[in-house]
Amino acid sequence: MGQKIWLPVVISLLCLLTACGPAPEIATVTRVIDGDTIVIDTGQEVRYIGIDTPEIYPTREPYGDQAWKVNRHLVEGKEVRLERDVSDTDQYGRLLRYVYVEGIFVNGELVILGLAEAKAYPPDTKNQEHLEWLETVARESHRGMWQK
């Protein structure tokens, strides 16, 4: 009987010490749709959380091609780590995720290069303060879309 009482306590302590939570998803990017949307090997579309890049469809907005090309360079054909915030999907059925590749926070990289704006989509705002700081740095450095 004593073991049954301690087991949940031990598991809870292990979770606290090892940051238990949803395991990060690992996927391979099969296609880059635009600056902030990709397709992974399951066939699902993934929309980057907390940012908005200029569009390339249906019309090409300034810096849309650059955002798409940089995103392709960063993730296409590569294994990425996908991190969920609060919501699993958006209204279009796309997975909502923070994306990491080879130690790079892709969402943030696009912002710091001036190819994306930090844009909050509550309730998914865990990294929003950081993304907004990166946008401030990009603006003050006149990078990408923030050039004079």
Q: For the segment 56-74, what is each residue's pLDDT rounded down to a tens digit?
A: 989 999 999 999 999 999 9
Determine the straight-line distance between the first and last CA of the chain, rounded to whole angstroms: 71
Lookup result for tokens 């950081």: 130
Q: What is the pLDDT of residues 92-103, one digit of tens each?
A: 999 999 999 999
- E strands in the chain: 25-34, 37-40, 45-48, 51-52, 79-83, 95-101, 104-105, 117-118
Reported pTM: 0.84
Q: Which of 36, 107, 100 is nearest to 68 (CA)?
A: 36
CATH of domain 22-146: 2.40.50.90
- Residue 39, classed as helix, strand or coil, is strand
Catalytic residues: 47, 55, 94
- Spatial contact of 62 and 54, defined as CB atoms under 8 Å apart: yes
Q: Which residues contact 139 (CB under 8 A, 6 or more apart)?
A: 114, 146
Residues 22-33, mean pLDDT to the nearest whole number:
89
Answer with the residue of higher pLDDT: 1 or 88. Answer: 88
The two three-digit tokens of residue 31, written as one number: 């296609």
